[in-house]
Amino acid sequence: MKLYIKYMVSLRCKMVVKDELAKLGLHFVVVDLGYVQITEHISDEDREKLRVNLLKSGLELMEDKRSILIEQIKGVIIEMIHYSDETPKVNYSDYISEKLNYDYTYLSNIFSEVKGITIQQFIIINKIERVKELLLYDEFNLTEISYKLNYSSVAHLSNQFKKITGLSPTFYKQLKQKRNSNLENF
């Protein structure tokens, strides 16, 4: 049986869910971002206990099919951008459509209707967040980050970064360095 969980976006979230399932004596096959596959049928009483316990950790057990689909779309995008070493070689739309076994136009329409932004805008926002992380870690230069996140050029990445954050990637990185040097002076 599959259960869908909202706000489940990190390894810590997965551990919380595993702990809550164990407390209820439920066995899982898969615990992944946004969902869990358990081996047995869950009673209404256990479902309610799980729902309440997950809420205490900021997670939400979902019932509505549209909400579940939105979370699945977000999960595929977050996993693709934040947790995968390589971005897909196909178009994002094809990748998302293949992963979820739905027509992309259908997914796109539901996502836009519910979230108020397009899937493409959500992808861009997540890519820029990933760029920020990579800039702060200082492991890759801008050219490498551009390639890693499948941008057509460094200029394209820089333009998108500035459009979303209001800062150039270089200035953003300098802010981090200034912050660190200020902390070292105390």
Q: What are phi and psi of 33, to 5 degrees?
A: -60, 115
pLDDT of residue 139: 86
The predicted model gives 64-92 an average pLDDT of: 84
pLDDT tens per residue, range 148-167: 998 999 999 999 999 999 99
pLDDT of residue 111: 95
pLDDT tens per residue, range 6-58: 888 788 889 999 999 999 999 999 998 888 999 999 999 999 999 999 999 99
pLDDT of residue 88: 67
Long-range contacts of 122-125 (CB under 8 A, 24+ apart): 122/74, 122/77, 123/77, 123/81, 123/92, 124/160, 124/164, 125/164
Residue 172, pLDDT above cutoff 70: yes
Q: What is the mean pLDDT of the chain?
A: 89
Give the residue with greater pLDDT, 146 vs 87. 146
Alpha carbon 10 to its chain's center:
8
- How much of the chain, in percent, has pLDDT values that exceed 70? 93
pLDDT of residue 6: 87
Give me the residue label for tokens 């019932």.
63
CA distance from start to end of the chain: 55
Give the residue with greater pLDDT, 184 vs 153. 153
pLDDT of residue 35: 85
Report whether 34 contacts 71 (CB < 8 A): yes
pLDDT of residue 91: 87
Which residue intervals of 86-168 are DSSP H helices? 92-100, 104-115, 119-137, 142-148, 154-165
pLDDT of residue 174: 86
The dihedral of CA 11, 122, 160, 86: what is its sign? positive
